[in-house]
Amino acid sequence: MPNQSSPINRGFPVVLIHGAAVTAGIWDGVITALGSCGVVRPQRAYSGSLDAEVAALVPHCTGAVIAGVGGGATLGLELAARGVPFERAVLHEPAVGSLLPGLLAPMAAAFRDGGVPAFGLALYGSSWSPGDVPDEAAVARDLAMFRAFEPRPPRPGAGSVLITVGAESPPVRLQAARALHEAFGYPFRIVPGAGHAVHWDAPGEFAALIDGGGSRRPPTAAR
């Protein structure tokens, strides 16, 4: 596995997009596995505006390999829907809107009843800590934005997209990946030893997919 002492020449920059209730600091383990050369992790503004979030990402993602988790993966779907010319994308457990209503309902209920701590634990599990959160208002804006998200088909010009699902995630996450596959043809792959927090649970596995493990052989759509 490549690391910071043995950088590789990918030919493309890598852009890592974080989701809700975390900062760009979540990517430390993945960057260690990838090697830091050519890897960028933008810190999102938690604006609550899908247009603003995408506009901020486009300069980084054009011509790049992109990877995202949760909300970051959702933004990756939107980049594909707008035809942003990225090289390829590896998107872990994005939101899927009306393809699977209720996917984000447990997290919304946790936030309503227990605020950010309950939301973070419901979404990421015990790997998450309150220190990963910018502020409660940012989480509220992200939650509203991602609950309102509706996926659309990729436009010509966008790169290939691989959806990933944690083997330890609730079954509804696999249902969501299947829904994206059936609606838009996106292949998906299950990541062993991981839940939603693949960046903490299986950074090496995720880094291998980012580095082309999903493009050198056809991904298997689990059924």
pLDDT tens column, 22-74: 999 999 999 999 998 999 999 999 999 999 999 999 999 999 999 999 999 99
- The Cα–Cα gap between 81 and 120 comes to 28
DSSP symbols for 62-91: TTSEEEEETHHHHHHHHHHHTT---SEEEE
What domains, with CATH codes, occur in the chain? 14-213 (3.40.50.1820)
Q: What is the pLDDT of residues 146-191, one digit of tens each?
A: 999 999 999 999 999 999 999 999 999 999 999 999 999 999 999 9
pTM: 0.92
CB 108 within 8 A of CB 163: no
- The Cα–Cα gap between 29 and 212 comes to 18
- Radius of gyration (C-alpha) of the chain in whole angstroms: 16
